[in-house]
Each structure stands twice: as C-alpha cells, then as structure tokens.
Copies of this chain bind each other. A is one copy, B any other.
Amino acid sequence: MVTQAAAATDMEGWVEHAAEALRRAGHRSSAPRMAVVETLGRHDCVLTAREIADRLRSEGRDVGVATVYRALELLEGLGLLHRLETGEGPTRYEPAHPTGEHHHHLVCERCGRVSPFEDQGVERSLGKLARRLDFRVEGHDVVLRGKCVACVAAGAATRC
C-alpha cells in the first residue's frame, strides 16, 4: 500500500527523543543546538542547512551557519537524522524516528520538489536483500527520480 507520508508520526516526540539522546551521549542541550532540533522537528519534510539557518533567523533566533552544520553532523552521528542527497542543490536532512519508521523520496527533476512516500513491498525486498549481502547494512535510501504531476502537466513549456 502506498501511503502519503506518515505525517503524524509525532514530531514533538522526536524533539524530546533527540534531546534525551543528546543528553545520554554526554552532549549539552544548548539553545542554538535545540533551536536546530526544534526546527527539524517542526517540519517533517527535508530541510537544508541554509533553510534551517534562515528559518531561525526569521524567528529572531540567530544561529550561525557553522553551528547548524555542527549540530546536523552531531545529530546524524547519533542516528537522529537521515541525510538526503537529491543530486540537485545542497544536502537535506530530516528527523529519523526511533521506531525505525521512515519514508523515501520522489524527486522532481524539473522543479526540484521533494516529496515522501512509503512502500512495504520495497522495504521487504530490501530486507531480504540485506540478509544475503556480504555487507553489514545499517540503513538504506531510495530515491525515485522523474516528474511530478504538476510538471508533467506543465510540459516542457513552463517551469513548475
């Protein structure tokens, strides 16, 4: 079954989970760091480092770009974030839920929009595959490239 992005996976919960994981790993819950965590938690979709910094600035909570990058690096190292490279633009990040629940992405090659999808069939196939490989699989990313409906409709004439 194809579900439209498990939107309601409690993001509030993820923020708390992240704070707890940071604490347990001996890291401080500083204001700038938590600002990054909260920004990620408020948007279940992918965000770039710049987007996070910009959103924080527009909220009046200025956080240096370097701090954003350092926070992202730390969070990813703790398995709290998933990193997504679309081949267009900078790296994007999104919360990784402790349940292991996750989604993958559709990337429109025309307008660059990224949208999530889930599919149990693909997950099952990847699970079976992982057991057969001579490699310790710890995660996977699936990116479907193509054109979103809006861009298909727009055709090659206009931009999305």
Residues of A within 8 A of B (CB): 2, 83, 85-87, 91, 106, 108-109, 115, 117, 119, 121-122, 124-126, 128-130, 132-149, 152
Contacts and interface: CB of A to CB of B under 8 A. Distances in A.
**Count of chain copies:** 2
Contacts of A134: 149
A121 B128 contact: yes
Contacts of A106: 133, 135, 137
Given A87-B83, A136-B152, A126 B146 contact: no
A-B pairs, 9 with minimum CB distance = A85-B85, A138-B146, A125-B125, A121-B125, A137-B146, A122-B125, A136-B147, A139-B145, A136-B146
